[in-house]
Chains A and B, each alone.
Chain A
Amino acid sequence: MTQPSNAPFSFLYQDRGGQIFLSLLLAVTLLVPILNVAVSPESALHVPSYMVSLLGKYLCFALLALSVDLIWGFAGILSLGHGAFFALGGYAMGMHLMRQIGDRGVYGDPVLPDFMVFLNWQELPWYWYGFDSFAFAAVMVLLVPGALAFLFGWFAFRSRVTGVYLSIITQAMTYALMLAFFRNDMGFGGNNGLTDFKDILGYDIQGDGTRLALFVASALALALGYGVGRFIAASRLGRVLVGVRDAESRTRFLGYRVEYYKLFVFCVSAMLAGIAGALYVPQVGIINPSEFAPANSIEIVIWVAVGGRGTLYGAVLGAILINYGKTYFTGALPEAWLYVLGSLFILVTLFLPKGLVGSLPAFSLPRKQESPQAHAGEDKPSDTPHPPSPTSEARP
């Protein structure tokens, strides 16, 4: 199984961790709808609709974490602003859902959403055009985060902005976007954002069936995201990326146009985040600028780190566990949950430097072809202003 195979989609089941992950995901995707619909509510095994949405939300976060792992774990790009792409995807979907409300809004205006009526807007701003079509919105979900990532990456990677500098300007990006979306004059509903959605594709957004469908869609999106990620990682491109991660300058000197590789994977990652956002919005029923908050983006990185980076499913595990922890502890220990969560982050960093999955041998990738040195380098992402250690490589 560890041998490279030429069978189609072999990249999906080359490693054991991926196998376990995919089978678990499949099991959950099948079981949850069954337990929700077919099992009587009195039974201990029944999954209430409330849980379905919650699980759906976790899966969206998982996809988001996966998208971060794709660039951080494989290309060494630490984005502290990935929440921005997630939120943009969410806004694209939210705008579609807003347009679907039609004249059922509070003020009954057939065209303008309530907040625009309220702020005395006379007509729909141009950037809202087209969002009444689901197909258009779906394209925008990919296109807007992708375009922003392209623009941002184009400048940043070509100028060889790396390491912490890159991390901090991604943070500046999401912070600037947050401030911009907070402005009511922007036409995105300001602080309240977009809310009060009625239906999606003609189905009541609060219906149990819709919830299930969204849950399954999230699971499929996650599987798809995983497939894309694995495909990239297993391809030649992926190997170059690992090269970039471990020794960017050396890769460049070998003749690779490092910036294009980075740009490509950055855009893919942004689009995955956008999809996650788009699926997240109908399930939680609100999108607002706080999703752009830098703290949110930092948290995403933490999910990945806790789960273990460079594996994709590690990120998924991290996202689901931490979010489940949040759900559980904010209810069970409302006054002390930050202590629990904070200590968890510290303990994981100290004692499980490779994250949860990295600490389980069953999950480590059989990357025998890589040199041990490259492995060592994994924990030292290149461009940080830390005193160089004797083992650090890649001095030009």
Chain B
Amino acid sequence: MAGLSKLRRVQISGVLVALAFVFKNTSELTAITNLIMLAATVVAGTPILKRAVGALKYKILGIDALVSIAVIGALAIGEYWEAAAVTFLFMLGDYLEARTIEKTRSSIKALLELAPDTARVLRDGAEVEVSPDEVVAGDVVIIRPGEKIPVDGTVLEGTAYVNQAAITGESIPLSKQPEDNVFSGTIIESGYLKVRADRVGEDTTFARILQMVEEAQDKKAETQKFLERFSRYYTPSIIVLAALIYLFSRDLVLALTLLVIACPGALVISAPVSIVAGIGNGARHGVLIKGGEIMEKLGKSKVLAFDKTGTLTVGKPAVTKVKAYNIGEKELLRLAAIGESYSEHPLGRAIIEQAERELGPLTETPDEAELITGHGLKAVIGGETILIGNRKLFADHNVSLAGVEAYLAGEEAKGQTAIIVGNLSGVLGVISIADTVREDAKALIDTVKRLGIAKIAMLTGDNPGTAKSISDQLGIDEYYAELLPQDKVRILNELRTRYGAVAMVGDGVNDAPALASADVGIAIGGAGTDVAMETADVVLMSAQLKQLAHAIGLSRATVRNLKQNIVFALIVAGLLLAGVLVKTVNLSFGMLIHEANVLLVIVNAVRLLGYSAD
């Protein structure tokens, strides 16, 4: 009897309750009916009573104790049907809640299943299969198509396409070759890799993500703490109320019914189920949100601040404009590219890349070329001397810039680096180069504004021209340029005073102080970066901006879900209390509503698992 599983108890007592219901309404055999009801009560009620007694030993009055008192009371006054129905409903509710609540936590289980289970390592020249826990740092691991990489490591040999969804949430395979880093838990779709194990077991990024998600799930949100405080007063007040009612009206049934609804189950559970589902959804999309409090803060943030331009730009200069005087634009680009042939300068590389894109591979080389550090270069192409560089270069060679000065100044004000191309007799043209904005950045800014971020700010150490140009292109509301790290902290404080909670996005490495001083610090591209993973409040595993949109959208959806749950639970609790007091709700009906309320709150939270930003 004691060994019956929860499900068995629910089934047996369910059948008995149904039987009793039929007998009650059709036959006159009261004794048999009562016996069946009693049996149902014992089957379903034993574990409740056991828990209640166990808790009372430690002077703790839980819902089990309240239900037990109500049921014993009901039996004492001959309300066998109520006793059977209440215990059955309570156990059924408990069982269904366990099943549905598992669902809200299913994301982490799904993640766990991605963990590697075997590893093939080279030991004394031979391949041996071992458990991933037995791999030590420095081992050489071999991974074939379809297999999971069991360690964080560096590719020694081979090439492969690797699906990194377990880490980044991004399932488009990435190409990996020698020197590249690979992560534990990711899968080789095609190809073959020999990897040197750098981190193994619990130290791998994958293992740490799992651990962080698990910890995050149980970090309480502010709302949750408040609800727990509330319920600490709610339950005893209802018990006192029940006692008072019995004392004054001698209405035992009413008093017992109050006990059954005294536990604000749905209210207490409303916040944690939403939070756990939200965090689980994030984890599956490469967004690690470290706890309920952070989820709430992010969901309520008003300002999104980007630390430095690099997050929004490609981070690599590119030619944005070619202006030619007296020669064709293509010819100008060709000359400049040939001149830069031997240059390793990033600006020179940008010119060559643009020329090859427009004109095809370059075959010509300059007759001679001389790099003049800080000024540019002087090359001889087809017998003609060509100057490529800044104002100083042209001043040194006494070439006048009078005709183009206005244009140069205009370009520079737009944040462009203007490279002047000319010969010894005059200027041939100007090539503008700048870091370009990321293609997904514009879409991101639009999305987060739609999601309810009131102000978007950019804090950068770059010059004002570059900052303005980028913020104009993207529709950023405010930019602050030429900042030192300590300035950023001050500006964040100003933004907070003016608009409200600030979420700050950065790489989590160079900008740790700024991220720490924001209400929510978001590190982008955090996979594999220890500092970012440890210190940021929210870690976006990949460098993709759409993960940022997902994080912000998800946090808002979670906060919304949580509010729906609280409001719903409060309304039902209020109606239930009123219903009991005016005697339209009896013992078993009260229990039914109570359990249904809890279930609905959980089911609402499960919806969050399907949230998607696009």
The judgment on whether A and B are partners is: no
